Structure 1
Amino acid sequence: MADIHIEEFYKDAAVALVQLYNAFPRRVNLFVEDIAGADQPDEFGLHSKRHMACFGTLLWLAEEGFLRYVDTIRQDALDQAVLTQEAFIRLSAPAPDTLVQQFGEPENHATSPLPPSLKEDLSSHIHLVRTVLKSRHSLRIGHVVRATLFTDK
């Protein structure tokens, strides 16, 4: 069993990357609440550990070259965030066939094969990330995010 904070990291990273991919190439504000859920700061105005972990994930993605941003909005959001070229290319690229077979949507097209362009879209890393996010299965999310983020360049 994986550590819960690592599972949350993978989910937060996946949600953030999907949001940025969906907006690409526009710059958008990336709000922690939209990724990790609502937060109730304590009586001193400090955010929860969960909120701060998600904010840390966003900063880590930036430090590792997956996204750029202009500034932080307190500890609530990244202002004018956008995917880097490397992240966009990686998310758009076809995933390995073994990953697609294991985590992609089952093909129910035996009688009419998919056109090559659609087949390519359905085998991209971003499509797999979206698919496993819908499943809400933390082990699958972790596996696909690891394969997406930590593959050789």
Structure 2
Amino acid sequence: MADIHVEEFYKDAAIALVQLYGAFPRRINLFVEDIAGPDEPDEFGLHSKRHMACFGALLWLSEEGLLRYIDTIRQEALDQAVLTRDAFIRLSSPAPQALAREFGVPEEGSASSLPPSVKEDLSTHIHLIRTALRSGNSARISQIMQTTFFADRGNY
């Protein structure tokens, strides 16, 4: 089992990528509270460790080339954030078949009555991330995010 802060990182990153993908190609403000939940700064105006970890995850996504933004809004949001080309392609691409099967996506050539285009859409990284988030299962979220982060970038 991963450390709790790593599981929270995967969940924060997943939520942020889903929000950005849903708005693509528009730029949006990506608020930490929308991802990690409400936060009340302490008497000195400092945010909680949880809030700062989420903000750090957003900055990390940018540093790793998965999103761009114009500026930060204090430590509360990224202003005018958008997915990068590489992130959009990665999220839109099919996940490995073994992982898609684990998430209930029918295999190619199976007796499923789903059209091939629907099967292909159900096997994309973004669909599996959304499915994992809906399940609330930390292990599933971690698994699909690791697969998404470590996907072969040579195909882009």
TM-score by length of 2: 0.93
**Other-structure match for 1:47:** 47
Q: Deviations over 1:74-129 (max 9, x none)?
A: 0000000000000000000011100100124579xx87611111111101000000
Aligned residue for 1:119, secondary structure, equals: helix
CA contact (8 A) 1:105 1:131 kept: no
Residue identity in the other structure for 2:45: G
CA contact (8 A) 2:106 2:119 kept: no
Q: Deviations over 1:22-75 (max 9, x none)?
A: 000000000000000000100000000000000000000000000000000000
Aligned residue for 2:2, secondary structure, equals: coil
Tell me, which stretches of 5 or more residues in structure 2 are unaligned? none
Residue identity in the other structure for 1:28: I
- 1:33 and 1:73 mapped to 2: Cα distance? 12
Aligned residue for 2:75, secondary structure, equals: coil
1:18-33 matches, within 5 Å, as 18-33=18-33
Check 1:65–1:8 CA distance in 2 against 1; reply closer, same or farther (3 A cut).
same
- 1:28 and 1:73 mapped to 2: Cα distance? 12
Aligned residue for 2:82, secondary structure, equals: strand
Tell me, which stretches of 5 or more residues in structure 1 are unaligned? none
- 2:115 and 2:101 mapped to 1: Cα distance? 17
RMSD value, Cα: 1.5
CA contact (8 A) 1:30 1:79 kept: yes
TM-score by length of 1: 0.95
**Other-structure match for 1:16:** 16
- 2:112 and 2:10 mapped to 1: Cα distance? 35
> How many residues matched?
151
Residue identity in the other structure for 1:38: P
**Other-structure match for 2:138:** 138
CA contact (8 A) 1:104 1:128 kept: no
Aligned residue for 2:46, secondary structure, equals: coil
